[in-house]
A and B are shown apart, each in its own frame.
Chain A
């Protein structure tokens, strides 16, 4: 009876909550029972960019409270009602964002612990052979004579801006009170991340810049600011995260949601995706096959996420409640 009630309770919860708790419990169990999980190298950079919108929302809520000219909420109620009203917006923000933050942290932990443990042989040779079969040589070698400082600066800026595209879009949906769009976007992102991380663990690759380091005859010649960006990107990377290119996959997935919710932003988003494709190849971060793969992964994540949300009982309940 208890088990049945618990089962029903789980099914009634939001999908991201169930996933966050489930993945965290599995990781904790693995941490305490196996030797596989001993190092926790979180992608702090990525976690920071999930926290950034949370900070913006909290500041917005506080400024809103301060600027509000209305009588204080709870003025007629007791002091406890006042405190409940004061902290409710923050609790709402934490409630909506924390599962995604926790899941992102878990995924990075999963990746940093398992990469090169499941598959110890980097796949760079295979990936570069596929590129060579398509182009006769590596795309990065073909682009080498065309390296120019301003192209490097532009594409490095595009490449670096990737860390902002998801938080900014999620923040936009959240501020517009498009909760359904926000949750679809975040869940889609996490589905794609999980697919990407599984792929990185099974097909680890370091990318052309490091794999062919001794064969490049020219540096990328970026200026001081972009060199700092590159330093940040490389410090934040866990490594062996090439196939597929999530730098392309995530903006592509975002563009699918923008097409549905903010039609005007769809074409600029596609231009951004195209620039990101150029950036990943020109900056020697990915093989062309990684970019092509991301065009399969992103739609698959979009479809899989919608399928999950459609069939999860708790989501159906939420949908029914919101339409009634």
Chain B
């Protein structure tokens, strides 16, 4: 979320560079003022005072900068842990990140971890807090993963707006579109499903959910044999109970 996107990288470099450069400016100013106060009798008291003030400002900037940097670092590791499904570790890292510097990203990350760890009430609360911290806007990352949670929790109504929002983001567009197409198909909104899948028509199908959507669309086009052939490309033994039930249901519709 933070590292990986070009814009985020540039912002990160500018922000980190700016913070520590400012720290260096005040630290050097404090040192120079101190040396001046010792070298010259003129305005000695004032110079010592200003050296102290510059030193305190440098210390405050340094303290806050280090806390902020640590927060970003822990959040980045939290995101990485989350993306390889180490949810407990991701939760702990996001909480540590928030303890150094409270950010909407870390709060949202904490919310997502809690959702998937079986504490949906707390998770939703944290996601709402993250949204409030961003003045009512949720990040594409939070939209996609909360949509994913509701999708697998068989709650298509809250999943739909979240996945629709996630399709606006380049990074999540494809994954969100597939899941959204499944929701549309299950709700009987076949025209919407066809419309959102149209831009990906040339994409080679190898993933289970993609093959599932394509098979359903073939069935709608009145090509049941092609639909079944697509379903048969997915080995049944590798499917989770969630997908197994859906594949069986579609198969029986094809044969009916």
Contact = CB atoms under 8 A, between A and B. Distances in A.
Interface of A: 44-45, 48, 51, 55, 58-59, 62, 65-66, 71-72, 74-76, 78-79, 82, 86, 90, 231-232, 235-236
Contact of A66 (B11, B31, B40): B31
13 contacts: A44-B6, A44-B7, A45-B6, A48-B13, A55-B17, A55-B21, A72-B32, A72-B36, A72-B39, A75-B39, A232-B6, A235-B6, A236-B6
Given A48-B14, A235-B6, A236-B6, A75 B24 contact: no
A90 B29 CA distance: 13
Contact of B46 (A55, A72, A79): A79
Given A59-B21, A76-B42, A78-B42, 12 more contacts: A44-B7, A45-B10, A48-B10, A48-B13, A62-B24, A62-B25, A65-B32, A75-B40, A75-B42, A79-B43, A86-B32, A236-B6
Interface string B11-53: 1011001000100110011011101100110110011001000
A51 B6 contact: no
Contacts of A71: 39
A111 to B, nearest CB: 18
A65 B50 contact: no
Interface of B: 5-7, 9-11, 13-14, 17, 21, 24-25, 28-29, 31-33, 35-36, 39-40, 42-43, 46-47, 50
Contacts of A79: 43, 46-47, 50
Nearest to A62: B28
The A interface, classified by DSSP as helix, strand, loop or mixed, is helix
A79 B54 CA distance: 14
A58 B11 CA distance: 19
Nearest to B13: A48
A72 B35 contact: yes
A78 B36 contact: no
B43 A66 contact: no
Contacts of B11: 44
Contacts of B17: 55
A90 B28 CA distance: 13
Q: Which of B7, B10, B39 has its CB near the most chain A CB atoms (within 10 A)?
A: B10
Q: Which of B6, B11, B47 has its CB near the most chain A CB atoms (within 10 A)?
A: B6
B28 to A, nearest CB: 5
Contact of A74 (B6, B10, B31, B36): B36
B124 to A, nearest CB: 33
